Amino acid sequence: MSHGTMSVPHKGLAHDEVLQRMKEMRSEDARWKEGKTFSLVYYAGEEISALVKDAYTMFMAENGLSPLAFNSLRRFETEVVAMAADLFHGGTEAAGTMTSGGSESILMAVKTARDWARAERGVTEPEMVLPITVHPAFEKAAHYFGVKAVHAPIGRDFRADVDEMEKRITDRTILVVGSAPAYPHGAIDPIEEIAALAKRRGLLCHVDACVGGFLLPWAKRLGYPIPKWDFEVDGVTSISADLHKYGFAAKGASVLVFRNAALRRHQFFTYGEWPGGLYASPSMTGTRPGGAIAAAWAVMHFLGEEGYLKLARQILDTTRTFREGIAAIPGLRICGEPAMSVFAFEATDFDVYALGDAMEAKGWKLDRQQRPPTLHLMITPAHALIADQFLADLRACAASLQRGEPAPEGSAAMYGMAGAMPAEALDGFLLDFIDGLYGTPA
């Protein structure tokens, strides 16, 4: 689909008119400040948001491409990474960089493993073994970097099956992956077993903690039974964790931390033959927004351990309210035993996607998942004040469906159709769908 015709305005608009038009355009966006959405935005209140905005705009023009030009950004980044490494039990040997988000951190982890295996083992047709619940960014990395993704099933507890992973290891395998937690069901994979497998077979082991990295450490300090998942586990060689999730930084901010600097060298890209000068880059992007780096440093110093612990307690208490309330509704069941504030639930005797449509008609934005069909929740401080209303609406919608009453039209039909499609046809459908979204302007 083409983009249609739209030209740059002949005459510019006034400052206030530009902003007014933008406000009008966002009027139908997800209402995340009201706790109406359960993904994409991690809102912890106006005080934190105001600080993040101020820090971001202070460094809005600066470019992280050149640490020589902006020493402040270099210092912010190295200190953010050092704090993350300490939080992840990395010690003084750990090394890393910031990236634009979880996907870029994952891409760089796979690229690093590919280049490490090429240099250290001579592997030219690399493979990585992945539980099916890992983030799709690993599939994207496989596509971009020529690394074959080999999938392993999960167990009935929604965690990686390490025996199945080991069956798929060959002489070409360079990397095994576990999640802490996996986004779909909030389960932490058995990282100690995966890392032991990696060490025994001479492989790298990446832990994707993009969701949990800046909540699990505080949950453990609060007494929650969090299993070992970070550099405390022998054999873990790299960790990705997003600051713009439960670190409450501005988008996009993530860290990729390696057990040592020798591994991190394989992440970097250098080129010395360009007429424009010597070029060295730590990650996928060239220009890196200075505001995101500065805001991450600012919020970590603003909150400190006390602030993060206070937020973690609120998030986990709210999560308990949601889980217990959902589990008490006839016909609904939590999937597995989620480790923190990310989880999914299924319907036992009606269409869970229809339930999602019914809730959306009431203003709630719930992510749909498949295999098995579930609805997904990600709890933040914004949800503390709306838990009772959400649970009341959910109970009413579930009861309506159990009585055989129809749900409003929504995505249920699309997900039902997608579940019946072969993979190749589904990929074509998704290509058409995204092509349409970025087609002719409204």
**For residue range 361-415, what is the model confidence (pLDDT) as tens digits?**
999 999 999 989 999 999 999 999 999 999 999 999 999 999 988 877 765 555 5
| AA identity, residue 128 | M
Residues in contact with 204: Cβ distance below 8 Å, sequence separation at least 6, in sequence order: 112, 113, 116, 117, 174, 175, 176, 198, 237, 238, 263
Using CA of residue 174, residue 138, residue 280, residue 301, what is the dihedral sign?
Answer: negative
Q: Indicate if 305-424 has the same CATH topology as 55-300.
A: no
User: Residue 76 class from Cβ within 10 Å (0-12 exposed, 13-18 middle, 19+ buried)?
Assistant: buried
Only one residue has tokens 């394989």, namely: 266
pLDDT for 437 equals 61
Beta-carbon count within 10 A of 65 CB: 18
Q: List, for the chain, all residue ranges whose pLDDT scores fall below the cut of 50.
A: 1-2
Residue 276 · residue 113 · CB < 8 Å: no
Sign of CA dihedral 310, 316, 318, 320: negative
Given this model, what pLDDT does residue 9 score? Answer: 85
Q: Is the pTM of this model over 0.85?
A: yes
Per the CB < 8 A criterion, the answer to whether 182 and 132 are in contact is no
CA 256/CA 243 separation, integer angstroms? 11
Provide the pLDDT for residue 1: 43
Amino acid at 429: F
pLDDT computed for residue 286 by the predictor: 83
Q: Which fold has domain 305-424?
A: Aspartate Aminotransferase, domain 1 (3.90.1150)
Helix (H) / strand (E) containing 344: strand 342-347
Topology of the domain comprising 55-300: Aspartate Aminotransferase; domain 2 (3.40.640)
Taking the mean position of all CA atoms in its chain, how far away is CA 415? 22
Q: CA 307 → CA 160, 221, 245, 273, distances in Å?
A: 33, 13, 15, 48
Cβ neighbours of residue 364 under 8 Å, at least 6 residues apart? Answer: 36, 37, 38, 390, 393
- Crossing angle of helices 412-420 and 352-361, rounded to 10°: 150
Domain coordinates in residue numbering, the chain: 55-300, 305-424
